[in-house]
Structure 1
């Protein structure tokens, strides 16, 4: 037959079908690799995932840091020796810790420390009236100025502020050993 008589195939579907595997050896190699490559990939993936050191859920609950965070104290206890005036805070220390916020700036109508004119009327009422105002609150100031000091320490702070503002009050004397605080001592003495 001549080349002229060969049919011309223009449609690709009409062409003879051939695959990439032409020999039995290629078929065996293809089948082996089609099983080995997925198995190899699965082993690599399992090794990768197992290589991370991930603790199980809830295992960190017993770690030292976690236990320490859970049992840390919520508050602390401070024990003061009420019989030792040296163990108590001074008037200046109480002032700086509690009173300075309002009495240095004049916030909420508080008389400023060192303003003799503002303190003159207050100092003239005497120590007992000043201490009563400090312990129970007056105007915008809460009881003890919102602090947690003993009455004796508050009394020291009252004397400190009054004396820095033109007053000449004497430092309060420590309450007798049987009394709980400096303010209760005069009350117990008056009842006897």
Structure 2
């Protein structure tokens, strides 16, 4: 019978774990909830810190939005009866021609390159003005734009005279001269 009593005592022994008192049980429950929650809060704060933009896109930046909604054109009111002030050849050159002729873009003869301008100047002022007004090669037509034909002619003379030619500057017609004074 001693065998039965001995085996019975082994099964009746209380199971002991790491928690031995009710105070330890309360602390274990609190920490089992608090530690993951604090960890989640810290992780969320870390991920949310700093400014994030869309996947490589600046499409919603203030500058991009302003560029998209800016007006396409502008309206400029002018007094039709006001005298028109004609631009000089240099002013027209700087506003319209210098983009290509200063750097020699697309084969344009450069300002000051007498060798490149000599054969063109030999064709005469009228041929040069015609090429400027109607376009030639990669140069688009300059006539009918912001500048009058007379202003384009002044720019042709400015460009060629600063490249070895000696062309007289075209004069404004008498009606325009009287109106501009």
TM range (shorter): 0.5 to 0.7
* TM, length-normalised to structure 2: 0.53
Q: CA deviation at 1:36?
A: 0.8
Q: Could you tell me how far 1:114 is from its partner in structure 2?
A: 3.6
Alpha-carbon distance change, 38 to 81 in structure 1, aligned in 2, over 3 angstroms: farther
RMSD: 4.7
124, 128, 131: which one aligns with 1:130:
128
Q: Is the Cα–Cα contact under 8 Å of residues 114 and 166 in structure 1 kept in the other structure? A: no
- Pairwise CA distance, 1:68: 4.0
Q: 1-side partners of 2:61 and 2:107: how far apart?
A: 53
Q: What residue number does 2:142 align with?
A: 144
Residue 40 in 1 paired to residue 39 in 2?
no
- Of 161-170 and 43-52, more deviation after overlay is shown by 43-52
Unaligned runs of 5+ in 1: 1-15, 56-61, 178-192
Q: Which of 118-127 and 46-55 deviates more?
A: 46-55
Distance, in Å, in 1 between the alignment partners of 2:34 and 2:174 is 86
Following TM superposition, by how much is the alpha carbon of 1:50 offset from its aligned partner in structure 2, in angstroms? 7.0
**Are positions 1:27 and 2:24 aligned together?**
no
79 and 131 in structure 1: CA distance in 2 versus 1, 3 angstrom threshold: farther
Measure the CA separation in 1 of the matches of 2:114 and 2:27.
99
Shift of 1:160: 0.6
In 2: Cα distance, 1:38 partner to 1:21 partner: 14
Q: State the alpha-carbon separation in 2 of the partners of residues 121 and 42 from structure 1.
A: 86
d(CA) in 2 for partners of 1:66 and 1:106? 34
The equivalent residue for 1:85 is 85
Structure 1-normalised TM-score? 0.51
Aligned length: 150
Matching of residues 152-167 of structure 1 within 5 Å = 152=149, 153-164=151-162, 165-167=164-166
Which has the bigger relative contact order, CA under 8 A and spacing at least 6? 2
- Pairing 1:113–2:107 present: no
